[in-house]
Amino acid sequence: MEKQFDEKQSLALIGEVVQNARDRIMEDGYWYLLWGYLVLAAAVSNYVLMEFVQWDFAWLPWPVLMTIGGIVSAFSGYRQASAAKHKTFFDTVMIYLWSAFLIVLLLVLAFTALGQINPLACYPLILIIYGFGTWVSGGILKFMPLIIGGVICWIIAGIAFYYPFNVQLLLLALSIIIAYIIPGHMLKSKASKNV
């Protein structure tokens, strides 16, 4: 009888550790909001500069905003890692997931720049990658808005293949609002209620 009690306690403790790790990763939606708003700003700025200003360097918001995001992410990630007492399985999974996301994203961008990928396929492919990262994150965190956001990214990617670049920018902006910004604010709201 004593052994069963210990097993139940162990299972309860494991469940609590898993939930605490999941809660820590979800935190307040910071990463989704940071990258969501940066990508939204870059896509909309690119569209406005291309369509209304007709500037030859309309693409410039992308490297500027993504560099800022990279610096802020590195600083924030370092701070979070320093504050964490130990790295959990969920921490490791999320690090590998989003590292793989970044590597695949950079490969798509590099092959597009080298002319190996048709530029009209670049943003639809990026939307597929966004969908993958969002879908898996939602599954790991058991957070349905991220899972739905991933599916919507894939649907919008399928649509984007049939539209010109300027419309693809708007579709990218729409998908980021649905897949990153709305779930990010939902996570923030959920975190504030749990405090």
The pLDDT value recorded for residue 23 is 57
pLDDT classification of 27: cutoffs 50, 70, 90 = low
Cβ atoms 180, 135 nearer than 8 A: no
* pLDDT tens string 34-45: 999 999 999 999
Residue 159: CA count within 13 A, CB half-sphere: 14
Give exposure, 30-46, as e/b (b: 16+ Cβ within 10 Å): bbbbbbbbbbbbbbbbb
pLDDT classification of 10: cutoffs 50, 70, 90 = low
Residue type, position 14, single letter: I
* pLDDT tens string 44-59: 999 999 999 999 999 9
* pLDDT tens string 148-169: 999 999 999 999 999 999 999 9
Q: Is the pLDDT of residue 13 over 60?
A: no
The pLDDT value recorded for residue 1 is 47
Cα separation of 152 and 7, whole Å?
Answer: 42
* pLDDT tens string 118-129: 999 999 999 999
Q: What percent of the chain has pLDDT over 90?
A: 65
Residue 76: CA count within 13 A, CB half-sphere: 10
For the chain, the residue count is 195
9: left (phi over 0), alpha (psi -120 to 50) or beta: alpha
